[in-house]
Amino acid sequence: MRKRIVGSSWKMHINTVEAGEKLAREIVEAVAGESAVEIFIMPTFPLLPSIIEICRNSKVGVGAQTMAEAENGAYTGEVPAPILSEIGCRYIELGHAERRARYNETDEKVRSKTHLALRYDMTPLVCIGETAEDKDAGRGRVKLATQTLWALDGLSSQQQRRVILAYEPVWAIGQADPADPAYVHDTHRHIRDVVAREAGEDVAAAIRIIYGGSVTAGTAKDLFRSDEVDGMFVGRGGLKADLFRRIIDAAG
Ligand code: PGA
């Protein structure tokens, strides 16, 4: 049985220390007692140490929104895996559409970062998703297959099982509504088929594929009706503790 997981990347929506620490405290409080669902939040880098402290001994894991592709060296401005692991980061978001589009986060870099995250005992959360142009041109599925293969390439089966794939159709991020639940169900099945062909049935049965893109407290329940959907990855929907809690409740 795959454990459902709900997490939120705050992106740069939270831009003061005070607001970030306050939201983290409210989330810890809102999810106290929750046990069936794995929960995580991803604030910006400078907030990580204090928020990891706030979330200690709670149900909330903390992750980073990106990470350097190398372990050390001349990478001005980048943040290396060993430090993130040392301070208590448990998840690393990789390949988000915004980072692919604006910061040249290629599949090759995502692959290196996935390996590094696992080496430092952090869970890689790899975002994959087709653009509107890919979809219109009928190449959405091949794009997803390619991104999935890169994410899992060169890992042992045991490591592959630890990866979380976040399916985020680029055209559904930052919109009023998420993608249609039936479309999400079919696409998750396609991604799982790709994993089965590449990594075997056992890995495909174990790996978690979660959905992201304009999920709200109101729409999560319909998306969770599919047994192919192992979780939600939210942006704006995670910025109010009570609404985030309702998305978590929809998973149960
Ligand atoms: P959104 O962001 O929920 O605000 O659409 C989702 C994401 O980019 O992960």
**pLDDT tens profile 220-242:** 999 999 999 999 999 999 999 99
**pLDDT tens profile 73-109:** 999 999 999 999 999 999 999 999 999 999 999 999 9
Catalytic (active-site) positions = 96, 168
Ligand 1 neighbours, Cβ below 6 Å, are 9, 168, 173-174, 212-215, 233-237
Query: Is the pTM for the entire model greater than 0.95?
Result: yes
Residues 64, 84: contact at Cβ < 8 Å?
yes
Is the model's pLDDT at 1 over the cut of 90? no
Q: What percent of the chain has pLDDT over 70?
A: 100
Tell me what pLDDT residue 71 has: 97
What's the mean pLDDT in 32-57? 95
Q: Which of 91, 98, 236 to mutate to test the pocket of ligand 1 (most atoms within 8 A of CB)?
A: 236
Q: Which amino acid is at 247?
A: I
User: Among the atoms of ligand 1, which is closest to the Cα of residue 127?
Assistant: 9
Tell me what pLDDT residue 160 has: 98
Q: Whose CA is nearest to atom 2 of ligand 1?
A: 235
Nearest to 43 by CA among 75, 74, 9: 9
For residue 217, CA distances in Å to 21, 48, 225 come to: 22, 26, 14
Residues 6+ apart with CB under 8 A from 109: 69
Residues 6+ apart with CB under 8 A from 127: 93, 94, 95, 96, 97, 166, 168, 212, 233
DSSP states of 121-146: T-EEEEEE---HHHHHTT-HHHHHHH
Tell me what pLDDT residue 33 has: 84
Tell me what pLDDT residue 151 has: 98
Residues 6+ apart with CB under 8 A from 110: 94, 95, 126, 147, 150, 151
Residues 136, 171: contact at Cβ < 8 Å?
no
User: Among the atoms of ligand 1, which is closest to the Cα of residue 175?
Assistant: 5
**pLDDT tens profile 10-44:** 999 999 999 999 999 999 999 998 679 999 999 99
Nearest to 47 by CA among 6, 16, 79: 16
Q: Which amino acid is at 230?
A: D
Tell me what pLDDT residue 34 has: 67
